[in-house]
Amino acid sequence: MTRILIVGASRGIGLEFVRQYCKAGAEVVATARSEDGVAAIRALGATAFELDVAQPSAAPWAGARPFDTAVLVAGLFGPRSSALEPPTVAEFDAVMHTNVFGAMHWLPPMAAALAPGGRLAAVSSRMGSIGLRTSPGGWLYRASKAALNSVLKDVSLVRAGQAVCVALHPGWVRTDMGGSGADLEVADSVSGMRRTLAALKPADNGGFFNYDGAPLAW
């Protein structure tokens, strides 16, 4: 049976990953920040642990059988300010701790928990791309996702030959973060990312991909 690890599955994209993988017959282990999130995960038939990615701790899945795919979903948008509008220290710390420290702390044990040839993904954002950037809006979030992409790239270099590690842009999705005017239903975004993950080859290691599998510029 395929084994899946989802970190950050309280709601939205993360919880939809759990729902779809469970429906497909996979054995799913997932984390959420709150008791309510844990309960939502368990209601879908997955194993759940309470975990805040911004807080360092031991991996609750340590000692489990290896996973075929692991996805880091947890993320925080923060203030919707534009470039040259400095964030407060509290805003900066909250976003960077979740999006960057969270990746630096949790991607290594996620990678270590993979079976040989497994797939590791960080849900990033096209907003973090420097090459594709045409807007300065949400600049703290953009900076954090650019940093997340850097962290993922470094993980891919270390794990080359052992796993395929990629960053994924989920599209503009109708979630609490994306808003009601977004382009995609969460189910369509996640089904696209699942297909992209399933199709990854060793040569894709270290890549940045749209939810539909199209390569993106860093």
In a domain, 216, yes or no: no
For residue 163, what is the domain's CATH number? 3.40.50.720
In a domain, 163, yes or no: yes
Token pair for 156:
């891919």
What are 119-159's pLDDT values in tens digits?
999 999 999 999 999 999 999 999 999 999 999 999 999 99
Q: Provide the sign of the torsion angle of the four alpha carbons 160, 101, 169, 129, taken in this order.
A: negative
Listing DSSP states for 106-145 in one string gives HHHHHHHTEEEEEEEEEE--GGG-STT----BTHHHHHHH
- pLDDT band of residue 178 (cuts 50, 70, 90) is confident
In a domain, 215, yes or no: no
In a domain, 177, yes or no: yes
Structural domain count of the chain: 1
What are 72-127's pLDDT values in tens digits?
999 999 999 999 999 999 999 999 999 999 999 999 999 999 999 999 999 999 99
Give the span between the Cα atoms of 155 and 163, in whole angstroms: 10
- Find the domain containing 95 and state its range: 3-210
149 neighbors 208 (Cβ within 8 angstroms) = yes
149 neighbors 128 (Cβ within 8 angstroms) = yes
Indicate whether 177 pLDDT > 90: no
Q: Which of 176-180, 193-197, 202-206 has the lowest mean pLDDT?
A: 176-180
In a domain, 218, yes or no: no
In a domain, 217, yes or no: no
Locate tokens 């947890």: which residue?
A: 74
pTM more than 0.85:
yes
In a domain, 83, yes or no: yes
In a domain, 192, yes or no: yes
